[in-house]
A and B are shown apart, each in its own frame.
Chain A
Amino acid sequence: MKTSVDELRRTRPRSRLLRAAAWAVAALVVFSWMSGDFGLEQLGGERRLANLERFTGELRPWPVQQQGGFDAGSTADWRTVYDWAAALMADGGSKALASTAAIAVLASVLAALVGYLACWPAARNVARPAPFFGGPAVAGQRRRLRLAHWAWSALNHSVRAVLLFARAVPEYLWAFLLVESLGYTALPAVLALALHNAGILGRLGAETVENMPPAAARALAAAGASRSQTAAAVFPSLLPRLLLYFFYRWETCVREATVLGMLGVLSLGSLIRDARAGNLYDELFFYVLLGALMVLAGDLLSALARGLVRRA
């Protein structure tokens, strides 16, 4: 060991990609900020601040605004706020809440069904001729094998491309495109969310299948099991991870479902849109808060479910 510290230091492994990437990101950040029209004066300024004050005033419930103030100690004041909130809930609020939740759940379930089916042809260790799952090689005709390779590869790449497209388009965009054609019902919203999330779950499922330890599958394949038989046998061991992914996407679906209503579908978002159209900022704020509460409840539920799955 004749090398010295300095020599070792000079020849140490350095990732060129990492450095280049770091510089590229820094350049991108600087360039983005410089070439934009960003200025704090856009947020400040006297007139705008006055507007802001007026706006925050208008966020308070209408009865409170009429009274001119809110006394946190007075039960009568709390009563008026409660009555106002209850009225909002009765007048479509609870219906929208239920609708939002239902859209989120249905969309996630559909997304999981489609995504976790599509993930198999999208997995590189499944969508290939005979030695799939890393199984034993099949001695055979080389020309047949090359054609089979090509065909499987084409299937694999096309499924991956479709999944990529499905998730590249944001849910809101899918919903926008579908709402006009399919009507202002929950159907386009569910389809939009399902499409986008099927892309995501399909991709995540494919990665899970690809990263699966090959031992069990290899044994099955060596015993002569077909692709689908092996997949069915291996699936339970993948289930915990797939369930975790499902719950993460479900949380996101709840978030998006609240907002999709702004396109006209009945959900909290449509109520928000209507409130904004009527300049009823107090109602708008109420529905936004309601949406936030729903998101929080969804997160909590998901955390509980994930804990259950992890401990199982």
Chain B
Amino acid sequence: MSSATDSRAGTQRAVVGAGKRRAVVGAIAAAGLASAALLSAQGQLTLPGLESLELLGRFFSHALRPALDYGSPFVPVGAPPLLLQVATATWRTVQLAVAAMSLAVPVALLLGFAGASAWWRLPGPGGRAVLRRLGPLVYAPARVVMTLARSVHELLWALLFLAAVGLSDTAAVLAIAIPYAGTLGKVFSEMIDEAPRDAAVQLTGSGATAAQAFSLALLPRALPDMAAYTFYRFECALRSAAVLGFFGPETLGKFIRLAWNESLYAELWTYLYALFALIAVSDMASRALRQRFLGETPAR
């Protein structure tokens, strides 16, 4: 019976597979060493001197003693209490992230749908042949737009906006929304294309049009993963919003930078903990919601 040959071929394939994986791991390790070599050749991998380590030590020693009130004597009259300022900065971070995502997600859904090929590659009679022919036309432009949008880091978008029209609140939202729409769109289109098609094929075999099969049998299978990835991206948006504060908007990053420049480490740790709490809450919430969706953990 060919089962013996099959299992032998199977084992051979497994061995080859393990060999390929080992090759990949080896290549990664080699690349790592090469990078280290290059950087030290450029003179960039110097070990820190004693004073640097002292500075770090001082910084980390404040980790367990975050400030609850201003440490600096130069606080302007009428300034709000420190914790209130922390809360406001946290809220502004959330606000920026939410506004950016609320733009990015709808755009990403459109782009992702346009950049997916599953809906016009489904076998079966097309209810509206027009839509079918539209598919390949929008596919390439959608992918190009998404790629352009996401190849430029949000900080660089912010820089471009800053130089062009100044970094107003709207510009800050756009600086995050544009690359995020590109990334979300690309991931959405991949998830749509990789969703299992067995149900859709069954439906078209029983007389459904491609549009019907797609909307009822393909899309619902991709949606849980898409939702899970959106939650993950929101967490990233919170971080990006915080960092954008380095450039002007009143988010946590701005105050962290100011605190560091004035060596107010205790205050700095207060802001860091606020950021930490923000991420932790968002993480817990998204995990609880993801359990409902039974989605996979995204890694991108």
Pair B44/A99 contact, Cβ less than 8 Å: yes
Cβ-based interface call for A62 (8 A): no
| B-contact 0/1 string along A276-309, CB 8 Å cutoff | 1000010010001001110110000000010011
Cβ-based interface call for B155 (8 A): yes
Cβ-based interface call for B203 (8 A): no
A109-B28, A272-B159 known; A95 and B42 CB under 8 Å? yes
Which single residue of chain A is at the shortest CB-CB distance from B278?
A: A168
Pair B171/A43 contact, Cβ less than 8 Å: yes
CB distance from B258 to the nearest CB of A (A): 12
Cβ-based interface call for A262 (8 A): yes
Cβ-based interface call for A204 (8 A): yes
Cβ-based interface call for A225 (8 A): no
Query: In the complex the two chains form, what is the Cα distance from A243 to B164 in whole Å?
Result: 41
A105-B35, A246-B28 known; A168 and B297 CB under 8 Å? no
Query: In the complex the two chains form, what is the Cα distance from A75 to B185 in whole Å?
Result: 38
List which A114-173 residues lie within 8 A (CB) of chain B. 164-165, 167-170, 172-173
Cβ-based interface call for B1 (8 A): no
Which single residue of chain B is at the shortest CB-CB distance from A105?
A: B35
List which B5-62 residues lie within 8 A (CB) of chain A. 16-18, 20-21, 24-25, 28-29, 31-32, 34-36, 38-39, 42-49, 52-53, 55-56, 59
Q: List chain A residues, Cβ under 8 A from B98.
A: 28-29, 32
List which A258-280 residues lie within 8 A (CB) of chain B. 258-259, 262, 265-266, 272, 276
| B-contact 0/1 string along A53-84, CB 8 Å cutoff | 00110000000000000000000000000000
A182-B52, A262-B155 known; A21 and B275 CB under 8 Å? no
List which B147-198 residues lie within 8 A (CB) of chain A. 147-148, 150-153, 155-156, 159-160, 163-166, 168-171, 173
CB distance from A31 to the nearest CB of B (A): 8
Q: List chain A residues, Cβ under 8 A from B213.
A: none
Choose, from A4-12, A183-191, A215-223, the stretch at the interface: A183-191
Pair A181/B289 contact, Cβ less than 8 Å: no
Q: List chain A residues, Cβ under 8 A from B153.
A: 255-256, 258-259, 291, 295
Q: Determine which of A190, A204, A266, A291 lies in contact with B297 in the assembled complex, contact meaning CB atoms within 8 Å.
A: A204
Q: List chain B residues, Cβ under 8 A from A180.
A: 55, 260
Pair B164/A52 contact, Cβ less than 8 Å: yes
Q: Determine which of B20, B43, B95 lies in contact with A32 in the assembled complex, contact meaning CB atoms within 8 Å.
A: B95
Q: Determine which of A38, A173, A272 lies in contact with B173 in the assembled complex, contact meaning CB atoms within 8 Å.
A: A38
Pair A181/B56 contact, Cβ less than 8 Å: yes
Q: List chain A residues, Cβ under 8 A from B95.
A: 32, 35-36
A109-B29, A177-B59, A243-B24 known; A169 and B276 CB under 8 Å? yes
Choose, from B109-117, B122-130, B239-247, the stretch at the interface: B239-247
Query: In the complex the two chains form, what is the Cα distance from A176 to B98 in whole Å?
Result: 25
Q: List chain B residues, Cβ under 8 A from A172.
A: 155, 243, 246
Pair B300/A252 contact, Cβ less than 8 Å: yes
Pair B155/A312 contact, Cβ less than 8 Å: no
Query: In the complex the two chains form, what is the Cα distance from A255 to B169 in whole Å?
Result: 24
Pair B21/A312 contact, Cβ less than 8 Å: yes
List which B229-280 residues lie within 8 A (CB) of chain A. 239-240, 242-243, 246, 253, 256-257, 260, 272, 275-276, 278-280
Q: A residues within 8 Å of B by Cβ?
A: 15, 17-18, 21, 28-29, 32-33, 35-40, 42-43, 48, 51-52, 55-56, 95, 98-99, 101-103, 105-106, 108-110, 112, 164-165, 167-170, 172-173, 176-178, 180-183, 185-187, 190, 204, 207, 236, 239-240, 243-246, 248-249, 251-252, 255-256, 258-259, 262, 265-266, 272, 276, 281, 284, 288, 291-293, 295-296, 305, 308-309, 311-312
Top 9 A-B pairs ranked by shortest CB distance?
Answer: A109-B32, A186-B44, A292-B151, A168-B279, A102-B35, A312-B20, A312-B17, A42-B168, A106-B35
Q: B residues within 8 Å of A by Cβ?
A: 16-18, 20-21, 24-25, 28-29, 31-32, 34-36, 38-39, 42-49, 52-53, 55-56, 59, 94-96, 98-99, 102, 147-148, 150-153, 155-156, 159-160, 163-166, 168-171, 173, 239-240, 242-243, 246, 253, 256-257, 260, 272, 275-276, 278-280, 283, 285, 288-289, 292, 297, 299-300
Contact sample, A vs B, 9 pairs, CB 8 Å cutoff: A17-B289, A18-B289, A43-B170, A51-B164, A105-B31, A170-B243, A243-B21, A262-B159, A312-B20
